[in-house]
Amino acid sequence: MPKLIRTPDGRNLAVESRGHPLGRPVFLLHGTPGSRLGPAPRSTVLYRMGVRLLTFDRPGYGDSDRWPGRRVVHAAQDVVAIADALGIGEFAVVGRSGGAPHALSCAALPAGRVVGTVALVPLAPRDADGLDWFEGMTEDNVRAYTIAAGGPEAVTAVFEERADEIRADPRATVSAMHAMVPGPDRKVLSDAAIRALLVRNFAEGLRCSADGWVDDILAFAAPWAFRPEDIRTPVLLWHGAQDVFAPAPHARWLASRIPGARLEVPRDAAHFGALAVFTRALCWAVDRF
């Protein structure tokens, strides 16, 4: 069972901790849609690495209360609230896919809390100047973010229906991904253990409603309310060159704006290749302490 942590504004956040209880604290922010049960290294691996991995359901997912109107910048407030409740001072943050922009909001926090941030297959801000935001993106995602222009009601109508389909058969949803992704991702999704993790992740995140998914889409379509140029903590950006969910130019755009950011764009990887570099990403994060 997750630990429920109360935020200063009275919401509950469902939090889990795994790995070494006295290890370096690293927050892992899940994708979209997703949950605290999303893909992550095994607890035994984390323990050997000396990592205390903290995961939580973003508002509206799983057992976390909804935060209507939340924006990407607000994720940093929730991470700080969890850290404060658990008596954690410094920490690192890793975010994958939809969790990556939220992780970057933590990198923009004032100095003294975040030692380093890893953004795996991130999206850039919707208003990113000079970036063709939709170029190279799968039609399904283009439709999703285009619908966001219609406001919360339009997004809710579409994603409640999609969430119903996933709840009815999450395994079928994961299997269907296999046909719509490039070769490197098909190879990753052929792993039965990874498919099982994704099934559990989607099922938990959407167990109660599509609220978290809806609010993520709306947040990505709105201004982030912080500037990548203002980030001063160390940042590693990793992106598979063949990604069709969040195309690699998004990470290149971010790298050109975040001072001192390190960028890796392997040619033979795509979106789910991020799952294969989790351990290396955590090592990089731990080395920032």
Residue among 32, 25, 23, 91 nearest 57 (CA): 32
H-type helices in the chain, by residue range? Answer: 43-49, 74-85, 99-107, 139-147, 152-168, 170-177, 183-189, 192-205, 211-221, 249-257, 278-286
The predicted structure's pLDDT at residue 118: 98
46 three-state secondary structure: helix
Q: What is the mean pLDDT of each run of 10 residues along the chain (289 residues)?
A: 96 98 98 97 96 98 97 98 97 98 95 94 97 96 93 95 94 87 94 94 96 98 95 97 98 98 98 96 96
End-to-end CA distance of the chain: 30
Q: What local confidence, expressed as pLDDT, does residue 179 receive?
A: 82
> Structural domain of residue 148, as residue ranges?
3-286
Q: What confidence score (pLDDT) does residue 166 get?
A: 94
| Model pLDDT, residue 112 | 84
Domain count, the chain: 1
Q: What is the pLDDT of residue 110?
A: 82
What are the pLDDT digits (tens) for 49-108? 999 999 999 999 999 999 999 999 999 999 999 999 999 999 999 999 999 999 999 999
Paired tokens of 228: 């990548």
> Looking at residue 1, what is its pLDDT?
84
CATH code, 17? 3.40.50.1820
| The two three-digit tokens of residue 112, written as one number | 């003294």
Contact call for residues 240 and 201 (beta carbons, < 8 A): no
Backbone angles phi, psi at 238, to 5 degrees: -125, 135
